[in-house]
Amino acid sequence: MEYTIWTEKYRPQTFSEVKGQQEIIKRVEAFVTQKNMPHLLFSGPAGVGKTTLSLVIAKTLFGPQWRQNVLELNASDERGIDVVRNKVKDFARTKAIGDVPFKIIYLDECDALTKEAQQALRRTMENYTQTCRFILSCNYSSKIIDPIQSRCAIFRFKPLPKEEIFKIIDKIKKTESLSITDEAKEALYVISGGDVRRLENVLQSCSALQKDIDGELVYSLASVARPKEIKEILEFALKNQFMKARDHLLSTMLNYGLSGQDVIQQIQREIMNLDVDGRKKMELIAACGDVEFRMTEGSDEYVQLESFLAKTALAGK
């Protein structure tokens, strides 16, 4: 059987298949039904359906001819002013094939465009409104200049909730004839953080090894420590068992191949589940922020993690 990437294999083809963004889908579908659409700006985290919804719009509008009527560019690869002046303008000048009065230009990761390219894009959006509509996709809408934002209808995507993630897992489980435990489902939700692309990649990696997928396999392949293990490390430190907490932390990092930044992010999430008062939680989260900043600046991660455990032990005392 030919190997396919699941993120492409399970990409929705119609509006009803897109999960987790019901309000956005309802409004966008109304535009498409009328074949009268403004420029769109999709903003939100990775893997929540921005590109998918753009392709569904194109396929619904143009049918089998959608490839001839859509220009898809990743602005993080080609982000200079020449791309806007040449590729985008050349495509925008010509009329659409079929009965839809406009083409679509999809710019992915457009927050990576330089300010000069964004200024050029602003004029292009203005001049070619008769023949072309733009769909801009970005992670941070604040990086898009105001003149472009004012020309677009802005849609803010959010990470998928647990029930929608579970529906996607159940669909894949049925189609691929997998056995997935409830613990594995919870693990996939925690690891993905609402990112469907990450969910499908981890699940595909697991299924390549075995058809019976449990929590242990998910955590080991995703290179993420079990929340229970991180919580144990913090509890040892709070009980003043510093050496035990330190040894447990080092063995966890080695077992899962974690970097210091991976660990401190997991620790930050797990602090909220500790059985300590609110003030101590705030102190530990503040310490997490200091440690993460120092690691980013280039400090030794082991020294920084040990200093965090020391602060945790002192907070427990």
CA-nearest of 161, 223, 222, 224 to 196 is 161
Residue 193: phi and psi, rounded to 5, are 60, 35
Q: Is the pLDDT of residue 79 over 70?
A: no
Question: What percent of the chain shows pLDDT beyond 90?
Answer: 48
Which residue type occupies 34? Q
How confident is the model at residue 57, as a pLDDT? 94
Global pTM exceeds 0.75: yes
Task: Give the pLDDT band of residue 117 (cuts 50, 70, 90).
Answer: confident
Q: Is the pLDDT of residue 1 over 50?
A: no
Instruction: List Cβ neighbours of 8 (8 Å cut-off, separation of 6 or more).
Output: none
Say whether 107 sits in a helix, a strand or coil: strand
Assess contact for 82 and 114: CB atoms under 8 A.
no
Confidence of residue 77 (pLDDT cuts 50, 70, 90): low
Residue that has been written with the tokens 């981890």 in this structure: 202
At 253 the three-state DSSP class reads helix
pLDDT over threshold 60, residue 132: yes
Contacts for 11 with CB less than 8 Å, ≥ 6 apart: 52, 55
Band (104; pLDDT cuts 50, 70, 90): very high
- In sequence order, which residues have a C-beta less than 8 Å from that of residue 127 and are 6 or more positions away? none
Cβ neighbours of residue 9 closer than 8 Å, sequence gap 6 or more? none
> Which CATH code, of 1.10.8.60, 3.30.1180.10, 3.40.1190.20, 3.30.1330.40, is assigned to 162-221?
1.10.8.60
Sheet holding 103-108, edge to edge: 70-74, 103-108, 132-138, 39-43, 152-156
CA atoms within 13 A on the CB side of 223: 11
Q: For 6-156, give the CATH class.
A: alpha beta
Flag whether pLDDT at 219 surpasses 90: no
Q: Is the pLDDT of residue 149 over 70?
A: yes
CA distance 317 to 312: 9
**pLDDT for residue 78:** 61
What's at 196, amino acid-wise?
V
- More confident site: 95 or 139: 139
Q: Are 260 and 292 in contact (CB under 8 A)?
A: no
Distance, CA of 268 to CA of 285 (rounded, Å): 6
Contacts of 163 (CB under 8 A, 6+ apart): none
Which residues lie closer than 8 Å to 97 by C-beta, 6 or more apart? 62, 65, 68, 69
Contacts of residue 301, defined as CB under 8 A and 6 or more positions apart, other chains included, come to 259, 260, 261, 295
Average pLDDT estimate for 180-191: 91
CATH architecture of 227-316: Up-down Bundle (1.20)
pLDDT at 270 over 50: yes
- DSSP, collapsed to helix, strand or coil, labels residue 46 as coil
CA angle 292, 298, 299 (to 5 degrees): 70
Q: What percent of the chain has pLDDT over 70?
A: 95
Q: Which of 301, 291, 297 is nearest to 271 (CA)?
A: 291
Domain ranges of the chain: 6-156, 162-221, 227-316
pLDDT at 317 over 70: no
- The helix (run of H) or strand (run of E) holding residue 74 is strand 70-74
pLDDT beyond 50 at 2: no
Give residue 78's identity as a one-letter amino acid code.
E
For helices 227-238 and 260-271, what crossing angle results, to 10°? 80
Give the mean pLDDT of the chain: 88
Residue with the bigger pLDDT between 5 and 153: it is 153
- pLDDT value at position 87? 78
User: Residues 294-306: what's their mean pLDDT?
Assistant: 91
Which amino acid does the sequence have at 144?
A: I
